[in-house]
Structure 1
Amino acid sequence: MSKILMQLNQDLAENPYVTFNSDDQGVSRVFDLTWDFHAKKQNTTEINFGHIDDKHRQNIQSYLYALVEWQKEHSSSGEHCAVGTLLEHRKSLTVIATRWGNSDFSLLSNEREWKKCSKKLEGYGAENTCNNLARSVNILNKIELISRYVSQEDSVKWIKNGAGDGQAIALPEAIYASILKQTIEFVETFYPYRHQISDIMVKVYAYQDDMLQVELDTLSLNHIDEMTVNQRACFTRRTNRDIYRWAAVRELQKALPCFKVNRQGHWLVALLKKCFMCVGLFSAARQNELMTMNKDSYSVTQSGVSKVSGFTTKKEHGNKIYTTWNTAPISKMALGLAYDATKATRQYALNKVEQGFQSGQLTKDKYDFKVQELSSSFIAADIPFSSSELQAKKNFKLSSIHELNLKEFNIIATEEDVAQFDLLNPSRAGDLKVGSGLPKLSPHDLRRSFVVFMVQNRLGNYLTVKYQLKHGNVNMSKWYANYSELNRTRDLLMDKELMGMFDELIHESVVDAFDDIYNESETLSGKEGERISKEKQECLRHGEQVLMTRSELEALVKSGDKSIVRLPTGGYCTNRNCERLCSLMDIVEAPCEHKVITDKAAKRLSKERDKLIASFKVVNDMGDYTDELILDAKKVKIQSIEPTLNAHKIPYEKFNDAIKVYGHENRI
C-alpha cells in the first residue's frame, strides 16, 4: 500500500467533514449518504450516494474525498473542481465498481485486475460516457492513488456499437426559420395577457388551499397525505370544475383558447418552454445560463445593441461569472412574459421557503440558494399542496427542459432539409427522413443552429461564435463555424444562376488583368513580365500599337490557353499549377519565372513598402531582442521590393536602417 493510501485511510478513520457551509462550519461527512454543497452556490448542489450498493459506497466516497482534498491542496485558490465534475466522477466510479464487481480501485494498478475490469467495460455505452470513465481512472492516477493510465485505445473498446454520442444537431435553415417564426408569434400573442395569467393563479392557489382545509375538516384528516387516491382525485376535479366557471378564467380562455389551470402547472410549463426557446434561439446561451436570466436581464447599449445578461459557470470550476450575450428585442418580451406570468407561482413558493427558513426546516445556505433560483424567469411551475414537500424541492428550476416539444411545431422535412441536415450533422446522417420530423430538439441544438444561421448568413465568424457561445477554446468555435461555412458553400454551388454570374465576373477580371499587362502598362517587371515586354517591343518595331485586342484575349481565356492569378504580394502569376508561396519564396529563393508586375501593381507594392517601413520602425524602437527574427524578415522584405520600384521608375528613399536590438547595434 502506498504512503498516500495509508494516509488516506488514517484520515478516513475519523470520518472527516467534506463539505462546509458559508460560515466554514462542517455540513457533510465523508460517509454521509448525501454531500451538501449548497454553500458553493453552483448548479449542482448535492451528491447522493444512497442508491450505491453498500459494499461499494464507502470506497467510492473515500476516493472522491481524496480527490477533493488533493485538488484543494494543489489549487492556487484552495478550491476543488466543480461539484458537477465531482458528480460525473461519482457516476463513473459507480459504473466501474458495478461492472467490475470491485471498488478497491488501487487494484487497477495490477495488470491482471485491469484486464479483468477493462473486459467487463467492453461495449458499455456511448463515446462520451466511455471518455468519462477513462477520465475518472486517470484522475486517480494523477493524484497517485493508482498507477494505471487509460489510453484512448483502451477506452475505444468500451464504446457500444451503434450508441449515439449525444452530439447536438444543427437544424436545416428552413426548419430553424419555421421554429423561429412560430416561437416569436407565440411570445407576441401571449405577452399582453401575462399579468392576467398571474392574477388568476393568485386566486387559484388561495381558493384551492381554502377548499383543501374544508375537505380535510370534512374527512376528519390532518394532512393531504392522509387522503386516499380517490379522495384526492375527487377533490381536484371538483375544485377545477369550480375554477373554470369563474368569469375571469372564461374571459382569458376566449383570448387564449389553450389556457388551462392546474396545480401541477402543465400549461405554465409549456408557456415557459416557448419563452426559454425564444431567448435561446436569439442568444445561443447554454441551458443553465438561460436559467439565471429574468425580466431585468435585458438591456440595450448606447449604440443600440440588444443584450441579455446572466451567469456562466463554464471553465470557471463551477463558480458563477456574470456575462452578456448579444440578442434581439424579442428576448425582452420572452423574459418578461415568463417572469410576469409566473409571478403568483414565484411568490407562493417564496412564502413557503421563507416559512421553512424561519421554522428551521431550511439552512441559511439552502434558503439563499432557493431564493436565488426563484429570481429566474424560468422556474418550476409545479406547486404541491404540502408545504414541507414544497420546501424540500431540490431546486426551483424549470424541469423537463432537456427535450423540447417537437410535435407543436408540425415540422415535415423536405429533400432539401434532409440534404442540409446530413451535411451539417455527418455523425447523424440519415437520422432525418423526408416527410418526417426532427429526431430530437434540445437546448444545445438551439446553440448549434444559432451558429449555422449566423455564419451561413455572414453575421459573424468563428471569433463571433467564441464570444456568443462563451467557448473557452477557439478550436470548438471553429468546429461549429466550419460546418456552417460548408453548408453555405453548398448552397452557393447549387445556385447555378449565381455561379454563372460569378464565372462571368471572374472571366471579365482575368481579361482585364491581361489587358492591363499587354495593352495598358508601360513597364512590366518580373521574369514573365520582362519576356512579355520583349514581345511588345518586337511588335512595336513592326508598327503594331496593340499586341492583343480585348476580343483576342477573351478568346484565349475562354479556350483555357491563358490563365492568371493575382498575387497577395503584388502583380500576377501566369502559372496555373503553381505551388509556390510567393510571400516567402521571393525572399529566400530566386524570383518566380511566371511573375508579372504591372505599373499598377508596382504602385501597390510601393504603398506596402511604406507600411512595412513604418511597422519596422515601431518594432525596432522597442529594442527587444525577441523581435530579432521579425525585424530581419521585415528588412529583407522591404529591400526585396526596391528593384521593382527601380524598374517602374517609382521614386523612393533607399532603406538601410540598422536593427537596434541586443547584438545588432552596428548591424547594417
Structure 2
Amino acid sequence: MKKNTLKIYLPDTVNDIQCPEICDVVSLHRKQYKDKLNDVPICMDDKGNVAAKFGDMIWNIEALVATKNATHRHINFSVLKSHSLLLYEMKLICYGWIFTKNMQYSSPTKISTIIGRASGLKMSYKFLILNSLDSISRICEPEIWGKYLNFLEVQKKSAGTLVHILCALQQAYLLFPWMGIDYREIKISPTILSKKLCRDEAIEREQTLAIPEGIADKLLHFAVNLVETAWKYREKLGETEQRLQENYKLGEQAVQNKIISGQWKWLTVEKGTPAFRHHFAKEASHYSPFKPSDIISDLLAGYPDCPVDADGSWWHLQRGNLTAACFVCCAAFSGMRESELFELTSESYYNAVYSGRTFHFLKGKTHKMRERHTEWVVAPVVQKAIEVMSALTKHLRENLLQHASTMRDIELAQCLWLSQGQRSTQPKRISCWSLRLTNFSKYAGAIISEKDYAECLRSNPNSQEKIKNHVHIGKHWALSPHQFRRTLAFFTIKNRLGNAIAIKQQFKHLYLQMSEWYCEGGIPSRLDEVEADKELQKMIDTVSNEQITQKYWSWFHSTETLSGSHGKDILKIRDDLPIMFRSWEKLYKLVKDKRITLHGTLHSYCKNGYDCEMEGVINPAFCVDCSTHGSIIDSEQAAWWKSKHETLIIYLAENTGVSMAVYTHCITQIRAAEKVMSDFAIEYLPYKSEIEIRTDE
C-alpha cells in the first residue's frame, strides 16, 4: 500500500500502513453488497489498525489531519441515520473527495477542507430530508432548484456561510460522473448567489476583530508581567509541577499496593470504568505522601504571586494563567496562525546579529500552502515566554517521549502547549484556546468601555454586525487566537511600523491583497487621531496672508516690469490706483477675506484661485496670455522663461524627427517665452522653425 492511494494532502507523519487501498465502493453500493461496503477501510492508525470504516456513523480520520490545532477530526453522518439512501450517498461523496483525484485544483486537498465540505453539505441533505427527496442530484432540477434557494434564504445565514454550503454542493456535483449519477448540469457562482440569499446585514465578509488599543494594552501588560515574573522563577516553577506530579504518582502506587495485597476490597468497581478511575484518583490524592501546599510553599517561597496558604487550586489557576500569558506573547508579537503556534518547541527561539543589531526569531512550520519550515521576527519577550513554557511542560514532554511509539507521538512530545487536566490523566495538546483566552481576558480585567466600543467600530469597518452581536460595554472582551494576527497587522499600519508588503512576509501570505485585508482600518484610524494645531495653523495663515499682501503691494507701488495678462493690467492702473489698493491695511483685509488670492508656480503667478481654468497644467504657454486675465509674471519668472526658451531650442535641434504633436507643444512655449522676454527687454535670438524656413525657400 502506498500513500498515493489517497488523493489528498498528507502530513509527513502519515506512513504507508495508514493509507488503505482504494476500493470500488460505487460498484459495491450498486450491487447492494452492504457488508463488504461497510467493511471498506477509510483510515488506519499508525499501527495499521482500522480507525474508520465506511459503515461507521462517525469516521475518525484524525491520523490524516495535518495541523495540530484542528478541532474537527471526524466526519459525523448521524444526522442521516434514519435515511439510508441519503446516508450512503453522502458517504460515497466523502469517500470520493478523499480517494479520487481533485480535477478542479492543481494542489491536493487537505483533509480539514474535506471535513469542512462535509459540514457544509449537511445543509443540502437537510433540505432533501424535509422534501422527501432520495438524491442530492435532484436539487438541480428546475422546479426543485427554486425551492432549494428559498430554503437557503429562509435560513437567514451570512453570505460567508452560504458560500460554504453552495461550494460543498458544487464539489459534490463534480463527483457525479464517478458515481455514475445522471444529472442536469448546474452552473452557479456561490459568491454572487450567496449575496442574494443572505440576510441583509450579512452581505459583506466580516473580519476577525482588531482589539481596541485600551483592551490590547491591558491584555499585553498583564501577559508580559506574568511572563517576566515567572521567567526569573522558571526552574522552580518547572520543579514544582514535576514534584506535584511525582507526589501524586506515589499516592497512586500506595493505593495500588493496597488493592493488590487485598487490604482494600471495597474498591470493587470494574477497573477501567469512569467510576473506578474517579475513586482511584481521589484515594491516590489522599494517600500522596506530601500535601500540595507544602510542596508549593517549599519551592515557591518568595514568588510574588504566591499566597502564604497556596494550595493545589492556586497552582492550577496560576499554571493556566501562565500558559495563556505565554501563548498571548507568542501570538501577539509574531502574528503567527494558531496552527503555526502549535508547531513551536523548546528549540524554536533563536536570535541573530545584523549590522550590530540583535534580531529575535521563532522557527517552525506552516501548513497553509503545504507544509514547509519558516521563521518569524518577534519581540524579545517571546524568548522568555518560550523558556517559561519549556520549564512548565518539561516533565510532560519527557513522559510522552518515554512512551512514544510512533512519529506522531514523538512530535506530540515536542509540543510546548501541553496540559494534563487531572494528575491521573495522560498529557495532551491544549485544544480549548478560545475558552482559555476568554478566562485570561477576565483575569486581566479587560472590560469594554464606551471609548473601547467606539474605537472598535472605527478600527473594524468590515465587522460592524459582529461588533453589535459580540462586543458589549461593561463586559469582558471575548478573546480568540486569530485576533492577535489581525491586531498586529492593524497596529503596524496605524502606527507606521511597516507596510502591507512587510505584513505579507511576516504572515506568510501568498497574495498582497490578503495582507491588505488584514490591515483594513489602519490608515483611517491613523487619520482619526490627527489633531490640528489651531495656533500653528493661525500663524501659518497670517504669514501667508502677509506675504500675498506684500507681493501685491510691491506690484502696485513700484516701477517693476510685469508680464502676463493681469500683470499688464496692473501696469495700466499704477498711475490711478483704486482706493482699496492704496492702503496696506485695506489690501491685507482683502487678502484675509479671500477676496484677493494668489498662487505661484515657476512660470507665473495666478490671482484667479479656484476660478482658474487650469490650462497652464497642460502647457505653461497658456498662462502668458491667460484668457481670464489671471496671470502675473515678474522678473524671476521671466528668467525661467529665458531658460525654457534655450532648452526647447536645443531639444528640437537634437530631435529632428519628433511628431507634429510634440513639435506644436514645444513651439507654443518657445513663442510664449519670446513674448515674455520682449516684455522684460531680455535679449534673445528668435527661433526660426522648419516651416518658416521652407516658406522662405
Same fold, judged at TM 0.5 (above): yes
Q: 2:384 aligns with which of 330, 333, 336?
A: 333
1:191 Cα offset (Å) = 1.0
Q: Counterparts of 1:260-659 in structure 2 under 5 Å?
A: 261=312, 267-295=318-346, 296-303=348-355, 304=357, 306-311=359-364, 313=366, 315-316=368-369, 319-352=370-403, 354=404, 357=405, 367-382=406-421, 385=424, 396-401=429-434, 403-405=437-439, 406-426=441-461, 427-428=464-465, 436-492=474-530, 495=531, 498-502=533-537, 504-505=539-540, 508=543, 530-535=564-569, 555-562=589-596, 577=610, 586=618
Partner amino acid for 2:76? F
SS where residue 34 of structure 1 aligns? strand
Q: 1:65 aligns with which of 79, 84, 95?
A: 95
Distance 1:377 1:601 in 2: 75
Q: Counterparts of 1:245-264 in structure 2 under 5 Å?
A: 245-247=293-295, 249-252=297-300, 254-255=302-303, 256-257=305-306, 261=312
Q: 1:106 aligns with which of 131, 137, 140?
A: 137
TM-score (ref. length: structure 1): 0.71
Q: 1:238 aligns with which of 286, 299, 304?
A: 286
Unaligned runs of 5+ in 2: 1-23, 31-35, 178-184, 261-266, 648-658, 688-697
Q: 2:75 aligns with which of 48, 52, 62?
A: 48
The residue that corresponds to 1:206 in the other structure is 246
Distance 1:35 1:635 in 2: 78
1:117 Cα offset (Å) = 3.1
1:254 Cα offset (Å) = 4.5
Question: What percentage of aligned pairs have identical amino acids?
Answer: 16
SS where residue 216 of structure 1 aligns? helix
Q: Give a deviation string over 1:364-397, Cα, whole Å, max 9, x none.
A: xxx323432442332334366356xx6xx6xx24
SS where residue 404 of structure 1 aligns? helix
Q: Structure 1 residues 100, 179: CA separation in 2 closer, same or farther (over 3 Å shift)? A: same
Q: Structure 1 residues 49, 539: CA separation in 2 closer, same or farther (over 3 Å shift)? A: same
Contact 2:493–2:499 (CA under 8 A) maintained in structure 1: yes
SS where residue 335 of structure 2 aligns? coil
1:486 Cα offset (Å) = 1.6
Q: Give a deviation string over 1:397-437, Cα, whole Å, max 9, x none.
A: 45334643221122344443332122223514556889613
1:39 Cα offset (Å) = 5.7
Q: Structure 1 residues 19, 586: CA separation in 2 closer, same or farther (over 3 Å shift)? A: farther
Distance 1:10 1:42 in 2: 34
Q: 1:155 aligns with which of 191, 194, 198?
A: 194
Q: 2:225 aligns with which of 162, 169, 185?
A: 185
Partner amino acid for 2:475? G
Contact 2:340–2:367 (CA under 8 A) maintained in structure 1: no
Matched, 1:218 2:246: no
Partner amino acid for 1:187? V
Unaligned runs of 5+ in 1: 1-6, 358-366, 611-630, 655-668
Which segment is superposed worse, 66-75 or 203-212?
A: 66-75
Q: Structure 1 residues 565, 137: CA separation in 2 closer, same or farther (over 3 Å shift)? A: farther
Distance 2:277 2:237 in 1: 29
Contact 1:216–1:224 (CA under 8 A) maintained in structure 2: no
Which segment is superposed worse, 228-237 or 275-284?
A: 228-237
SS where residue 251 of structure 2 aligns? helix
Contact 2:332–2:488 (CA under 8 A) maintained in structure 1: yes
SS where residue 242 of structure 1 aligns? coil
Partner amino acid for 2:390? Y
1:133 Cα offset (Å) = 0.8
The residue that corresponds to 2:147 in the other structure is 116
Q: Give a deviation string over 1:267-321, Cα, whole Å, max 9, x none.
A: 43321111111122222222222222234334244143634334564651xx223
1:227 Cα offset (Å) = 5.0
Contact 1:264–1:384 (CA under 8 A) maintained in structure 2: no
Q: Structure 1 residues 634, 208: CA separation in 2 closer, same or farther (over 3 Å shift)? A: farther
Contact 1:350–1:371 (CA under 8 A) maintained in structure 2: yes
Q: 1:88 aligns with which of 99, 103, 116?
A: 116
Distance 1:632 1:375 in 2: 75
Matched, 1:9 2:18: no
Distance 2:605 2:100 in 1: 62
SS where residue 109 of structure 2 aligns? coil
The residue that corresponds to 2:59 in the other structure is 34
1:252 Cα offset (Å) = 1.0
Distance 1:35 1:640 in 2: 81
Q: Structure 1 residues 151, 231: CA separation in 2 closer, same or farther (over 3 Å shift)? A: closer
Partner amino acid for 1:453? F
Q: Which has the larger radius of gyration?
A: 2
Which segment is superposed worse, 231-240 or 81-90?
A: 231-240
Q: CA RMSD in A?
A: 5.4
Matched, 1:130 2:162: yes
The residue that corresponds to 1:623 in the other structure is none
Q: Structure 1 residues 556, 157: CA separation in 2 closer, same or farther (over 3 Å shift)? A: same
Partner amino acid for 1:92? G
Distance 1:562 1:22 in 2: 86
Distance 1:580 1:162 in 2: 45
SS where residue 497 of structure 2 aligns? coil
Contact 1:519–1:548 (CA under 8 A) maintained in structure 2: no
Contact 1:315–1:472 (CA under 8 A) maintained in structure 2: no
The residue that corresponds to 2:125 in the other structure is 97
The residue that corresponds to 2:656 in the other structure is none
Distance 1:8 1:640 in 2: 83
Distance 1:53 1:271 in 2: 44
